[in-house]
């Protein structure tokens, strides 16, 4: 252990002061073992070695120094030495204990993170399996029940056409109305199942994968419980934004951020290029609607319309690239 710079003169001065005072007060020699222990603890071994002959010299200089005190002083030196040894072992054990405790806490934290990741993966697998099952049910209903109902509706319409018994007209009319109602109900249920089965993250990643114009950096931080209308809007806006980059920009990099906040959903599409091919001038903010006569203007207008339909806002800027910033409040979307 490296001694502190200010403790060396303190200990050396203590030896000198105690040595001089012991010439008049011999009992002070009994404090030398305490100084020796402190010296050894500070790692000043040369000073500790020099303290022993100094103590012996002072004992020799004092006339009629009691032999009992002399033996007591020697015992004190021996005791100080062994206390220093055991204190060093205790300090080493103490440091080892803290190291083991820190390692244990680190391993516990890593294990907790791995368990959390495993649980999230299991939850996602269950969620994905649920979506696949919903899609399967929707296909089964559409392919089987839907076709049977369609055939029944056509047969009922044919029966109404060739029927010559007026008394059967109300019955056939009610039957046709019931079948049409059942078909509409099944169609609505199938659409709901299919819409709920859409995974926003997979859909966005699919758009990014299909976008080959330039590299795309995607940051996705959204929960799974997102309203259907918000899913469709975010997917459409992302598709329109990437299309805008491909048609009107010379960018070589695009950043897409989707993040869910406590009160809103956020989408940001930003590139590092400059507008080309006549992209319309825009006004920074959420109320610009000019230049709709070009494809770029229509695209930006569609983005604003989709966000506005859900109570959201769109901020568009052209500083250091083209940036589309969309926010959709949760209160409105819910």
154 and 266 belong to one structural domain: no
Assess whether 187 and 233 both reside in one domain.
no
Confidence of residue 325 (pLDDT cuts 50, 70, 90): very high
pLDDT in tens, 176-217: 888 888 877 777 666 665 555 577 888 888 888 888 888 999
Q: What percent of the chain has pLDDT over 90?
A: 9
- Name residues whose C-beta falls within 8 Å of residue 268's C-beta, 6 or more positions apart in sequence: 255, 256, 257, 323, 324, 325, 326
Q: How far is CA 112 from CA 100, 109, 115, 164, in A?
A: 18, 5, 5, 77
Whether residue 204 sits in one domain with residue 274: yes
Same-domain check for residues 320 and 204: yes
Distance CA 270, CA 214 (A): 12
- Of 219, 306, 205, 302, which is closest to residue 255 (Cα–Cα)? 219
Decide if pLDDT at 89 tops 90. Answer: no
Report the pLDDT value the prediction gives residue 57, as an integer from 0 to 100: 63
CATH code of the domain in which 263 resides: 3.30.565.10
For residue 7, pLDDT over 90 is answered with: no
Do 267 and 190 share a structural domain?
A: no
Specify whether the CB–CB gap between 37 and 19 falls below 8 A. Answer: no
User: Do the domain assignments include residue 131?
Assistant: yes
**Which pair of structure tokens corresponds to residue 123?**
């939850």
Mean pLDDT score across all residues of the chain = 75
**Does 235 share its domain with 187?**
no
Among the residue ranges 36-40, 41-45, 62-66, 74-78, the one predicted with the least confidence is 62-66
The terminus-to-terminus CA distance of the chain in angstroms comes to 65
Last residue in a domain, options 196, 214, 246: 196
Phi/psi at 66 (nearest 5 deg)? -60, 135
232 and 297, same domain (yes or no) = yes
Q: 242-267, pLDDT tens digit by residue?
A: 888 888 888 888 999 999 998 899 99
| Range(s) of the domain holding residue 138 | 127-196
Nearest to 244, CA basis, from 207, 200, 218: 207
Q: Greater confidence, 132 or 20?
A: 132
Shared-domain flag, residues 145 and 215: no
Most confident of 21-30, 152-161, 247-256, 262-271: 262-271
End-of-domain residue from the set 156, 177, 196: 196
Higher pLDDT, 233 or 192: 233
Q: What is the token pair recorded at 142?
A: 């559409």
Q: Write out pLDDT tens, residues 286-323.
A: 444 443 334 445 678 888 888 888 899 999 888 778 88
Among candidate residues 140, 166, 196, the one where a domain is terminated: 196
Q: Please give the pLDDT value at position 127.
A: 63
Residue 35 lies in a domain: no
The whole-angstrom separation of Cα 12 and Cα 262 is 66
Query: What is the C-alpha separation between 29 and 48, in angstroms, rounded?
Result: 15
- Which comes out higher in pLDDT, residue 13 or 91? 91
What is the C-alpha radius of gyration for the chain, rounded to an integer number of angstroms? 43
């Amino acid at each position: 252990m490296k001694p502190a710079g200010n403790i060396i003169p303190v200990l050396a001065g203590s030896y000198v002061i105690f040595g001089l005072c012991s010439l008049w007060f011999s009992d002070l020699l009994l404090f030398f073992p305490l100084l020796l222990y402190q010296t050894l603890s500070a790692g000043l071994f040369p000073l500790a070695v020099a303290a022993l002959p100094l103590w012996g010299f002072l004992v020799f200089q004092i006339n009629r120094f009691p032999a009992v005190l002399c033996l007591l002083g020697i015992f004190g030196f021996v005791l100080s030495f062994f206390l220093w040894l055991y204190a060093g072992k205790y300090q080493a054990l103490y440091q080892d204990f803290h190291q083991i405790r820190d390692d244990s806490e680190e391993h516990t934290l890593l294990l907790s993170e791995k368990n959390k990741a495993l649980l999230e993966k299991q939850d996602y697998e269950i969620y994905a399996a649920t979506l696949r099952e919903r899609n399967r049910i929707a296909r089964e209903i559409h392919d089987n029940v839907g076709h049977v109902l369609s055939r029944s509706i056509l047969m009922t319409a044919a029966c109404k056409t060739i029927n010559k018994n007026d008394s059967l007209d109300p019955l056939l009319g009610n039957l046709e109305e019931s079948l049409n109602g059942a078909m509409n109900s099944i169609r609505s249920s199938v659409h709901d199942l299919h819409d709920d089965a859409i995974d926003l993250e997979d859909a966005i990643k699919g758009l990014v994968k299909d976008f080959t114009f330039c590299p795309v950096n995607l940051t996705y931080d959204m929960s799974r419980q997102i309203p259907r209308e918000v899913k469709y809007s975010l997917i459409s806006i992302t598709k329109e934004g990437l299309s805008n980059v491909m048609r009107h920009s010379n960018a070589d990099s695009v950043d897409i951020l989707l993040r869910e906040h406590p009160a809103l959903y956020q989408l940001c599409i930003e590139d590092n290029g400059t507008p080309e091919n006549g992209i319309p001038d825009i006004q920074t903010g959420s109320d610009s609607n000019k230049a709709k006569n070009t494809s770029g203007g229509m695209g930006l207008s569609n983005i604003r319309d989709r966000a506005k339909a859900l109570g959201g806002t769109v901020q568009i800027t052209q500083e250091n690239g083209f940036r589309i910033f969309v926010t959709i409040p949760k209160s409105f979307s819910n």
